[in-house]
Structure 1
């Protein structure tokens, strides 16, 4: 059984690997989100309602999440930008499908956080731009969505909000852990370099 998974896992690690730790982090998080998308309709079914068909539209964003490592090999900044940009687009689409009453717009928060974490100081203008897009989508678009594809009961909306809040919080925590590891590796490398430069 382990042999069966060994080659696919090796291929997956090779696909997400990158010498730039920020790019590698974006690759990992993009594939993490993509791998969890097929479970979202199941979560809705178990926690919210049997009416889950609008959730299948979220699969339209899956190829874009999966494409992050491939694009990053051609252009690292574009690859990193694709992750929050796809998340923002997916959040807007879900808000249109489920309505703002579902609390699905809360996923725009980790998108903004990622936008601010994925870029170095000289690239920060792009991070600010993407984070601004996430906040603008939350603050401006709510009145433009119109009627959602499905209307749920008050109890179902309460469960929906809990599901989305927990999911968005988990994604934010995961991103924080990933980037704390990047920081730790950077500090370790700097300490090793300083030791090598010490005389004697």
Structure 2
């Protein structure tokens, strides 16, 4: 059994993420998970590559309140929350790629950004979904190797460690997105092989 303070926090988390629109509720969950991981990211980078870039690393925290605001925006309008989540995810990835440098592998997060935009919208919302899903692709094509020098440059071995960490993290968030959105699909009572 969870301690009472943890139960209250979990209850608040669920209530804040809740939305009558299942797509918005699922997007809210993703936004809150991204927000909750945000404060730890500078620590992960410091553990992998050292703390010499720490003053600049704190700028990665700028996305925290943005992700945290997504459920509130989704309460105003479901589509607004989903659009905002997609834009924040892509914008944060581009910003952090500049901040840490392309060799850090942060750019790999553009893949789950495209995936997220692809699953956040219904078939009748494709006119919104396609540009938002294409935005991470366009960001890669237009910005890759054109970001300019980051404020702090790491050594080659440090960049190798950051690349591995970010590749693993991008894979994990992609799996998480797939898992939580898969819950929206109900399986038929019997599969064709059972008949």
Give distance in 2, aligned partners of 1:104 and 1:54: 15
Give a deviation string over 1:24-74, Cα, whole Å, max 9, x none: 100000000000011111111212222233221111111110111100011
1:123 correspondence with 2:125:
yes
- TM-score between both structures, scaled by the size of structure 2: 0.91
Give distance in 2, aligned partners of 1:68 and 1:24: 10
Q: Which residue of 2 aligns with 1:174?
A: 176
Q: 5+ residue gaps in structure 1?
A: 192-200
Structure number with higher helix proportion:
1
Give distance in 1, aligned partners of 2:13 and 2:42: 24
Give distance in 1, aligned partners of 2:142 and 2:61: 25
Q: Which residue of 2 aligns with 1:197?
A: none
Q: Which residue of 1 aligns with 2:10?
A: 9
Give distance in 2, aligned partners of 1:144 and 1:32: 30
Q: Which residue of 2 aligns with 1:18?
A: 19
Q: 5+ residue gaps in structure 2?
A: 190-195
Q: Which residue of 2 aligns with 1:92?
A: 94
Q: CA deviation at 1:143?
A: 4.1
Give distance in 2, aligned partners of 1:54 and 1:164: 18
SS in 2 for 1:47: helix
Q: Which residue of 2 aligns with 1:41?
A: 42
SS in 2 for 1:144: coil
Q: How does 1:69-84 map onto structure 2 within 5 Å?
A: 69-84=71-86
Q: CA deviation at 1:81?
A: 1.2
SS in 1 for 2:79: helix
RMSD (Å) for aligned C-alpha atoms: 1.4
> Would you say the 8 A contact 2:74–2:82 is kept in 1?
yes
Q: CA deviation at 1:85?
A: 0.7
Q: CA deviation at 1:21?
A: 1.3
Which protein is bigger by CA-based radius of gyration? 1
Give a deviation string over 1:83-135, Cα, whole Å, max 9, x none: 12101111111111111111111111111000000100010221111111111
Q: Which residue of 2 aligns with 1:195?
A: none
Q: Which moved more, 1:151-160 or 1:45-54?
A: 45-54
SS in 2 for 1:183: coil
Q: Which residue of 1 aligns with 2:149?
A: 147
